[in-house]
Amino acid sequence: MTETAHNLDQHMSDLRQILAQGKKRIGILLGAGTAGSINISKDKSKYEPLIPAIAGLTKIVTDSLSADEGKQLATITKSLSPSPNIEEILSKIRALSSALKGVDTKLGDYKQENYDNLAASICKKISDVVKCKLPSNETPYNRLAGWVGGTDRNKAVEIFTSNYDLLMEEALEAAKIPFFCGFSGSCEPFFDAASISNNDDLPSRWARLWKLHGSLGWGLNEKEELVAGKSRDTAGLIYPDHLKYDHIQKLPYTALFDRLRKFLTTPDTLLLSCGFSYADAHISAVINEALSANPASSVFAFLYQEIDKELAAKKLAMQRPNFSAYACDRAVINCTDGKWELGKNDDNKDWHHIRKSFWATRDSGRDHMFTLGDFAAFAEFFALSKSDLSYSTVTPPPRVSVL
């Protein structure tokens, strides 16, 4: 039995045209993997991400605990998996704290306040990791910001992110691109939920930036009201634990999640994701429900790993024909799992140049693969979509038939 093949050249040609024309309503979903594409190591033969993914974040946070905190953590993690991540750890700590609420007793050697203090210490260290600044003007964030401001659009670009950091804000500001994030004012910017659901009155050249899990710089004022513009040490965040759903039901998070839902239920919309694994059940549920309600919207998920390692995204793509999972080795498109295959026209030299932006070697000793699951390649592809190489003169190789 022969295997299904997806024509990568044709899919990327169609996407380049959509990005360059500025007619379609486009959203971008950025996950935790995006900052990991920036290598800050002075030794370029080594890899040190600006902000690590969850495994690296777990190690940084746990290694930085005090001796007493480390001893307490070792006791707690005995009941968890052999290598628990920071979400599992925080969930366990807060579950133990909840079990002791209002009771003057101990679980093991610790009282509720001990568990609360450990959770607070871990959250503070997470905040410390993500409060880094954008290192230069040559990062993928800067290239993506350049694309956002480089095309006259009918509808504003909407950027959704689960990240707490201020990297996207810094890139947009460096490019002098105005954006709206739900807060208004200058002394103590306040959150205005009504303007999130009805923001089309703003000029389309203004980008929208929605921080689904909160942000550094969010905090409470003297009236216990949420405001922005605080220091990087202040953070109104949904930390990675089992209580995320409880927080999402409250402002401002409910308004931000409603915006994601409204965006995807608007006709003729396209959401492109990078650095997001779809393991976050709350965000994935909103996307799944919206795609079911609106077949005219689409999601393209660009994934870093092989498709069989991207289980959450693959599962969603097998359920929804308007959700496409683009992994490095193959893809699930129209609920069909198939390998990547390039076009057969070897005479098109212009297209061979374009192909290098999404089909290349990524790791030493490995074959060519689809690279847009890497945020650096993703942003570069966006930036190149507004190049002088026009679509009237470049014809992609012919479609590959399904075998």
Name the nearest CA neighbour of 179 among 159, 193, 163, 164: 159
Structure tokens belonging to residue 280: 């976050």
- Return the pLDDT at 186: 86
Q: What is the mean pLDDT of residues 138-167?
A: 92
8 Å CB contact between 245 and 282: yes
- Whether residue 229 is predicted with pLDDT greater than 60 in this model: the reply is yes
- Whether residue 204 is predicted with pLDDT greater than 50 in this model: the reply is yes
8 Å CB contact between 54 and 240: yes
- Return the pLDDT at 237: 59
Higher-confidence position of 193 and 26 = 26
Structure tokens belonging to residue 190: 């306040």
- Return the pLDDT at 245: 46
For 10-44, the pLDDT digits (tens) are 999 999 999 988 889 999 999 989 998 998 888 87
Higher-confidence position of 91 and 372 = 372
- Whether residue 396 is predicted with pLDDT greater than 50 in this model: the reply is no
Average pLDDT of the chain to the nearest whole number: 86
- Return the pLDDT at 175: 94
Which pLDDT band, with edges at 50, 70 and 90, does 246 fall under?
Answer: low
Cα atoms found within 13 Å of the Cα of residue 98, Cβ hemisphere only: 8
Q: Where are the alpha helices (DSSP H) in 237-329?
A: 244-248, 253-264, 281-293, 311-319
Q: Which percentage of the chain shows pLDDT scores above 70?
A: 89
Q: How far apart are CA 293 and CA 265, in angstroms?
A: 7
- Whether residue 364 is predicted with pLDDT greater than 70 in this model: the reply is no
Give the length of the chain.
403
Which pLDDT band, with edges at 50, 70 and 90, does 394 fall under?
Answer: very low
For 45-98, the pLDDT digits (tens) are 788 899 988 888 899 999 999 999 999 999 988 888 888 888 788 888 888 888
pTM here is: 0.87
8 Å CB contact between 335 and 319: yes
Q: What is the mean pLDDT of residues 217-237?
A: 75
Q: Classify 159 as helix, strand or coil.
A: strand
For 251-299, the pLDDT digits (tens) are 788 889 999 999 999 989 999 999 999 988 889 999 999 999 999 999 9
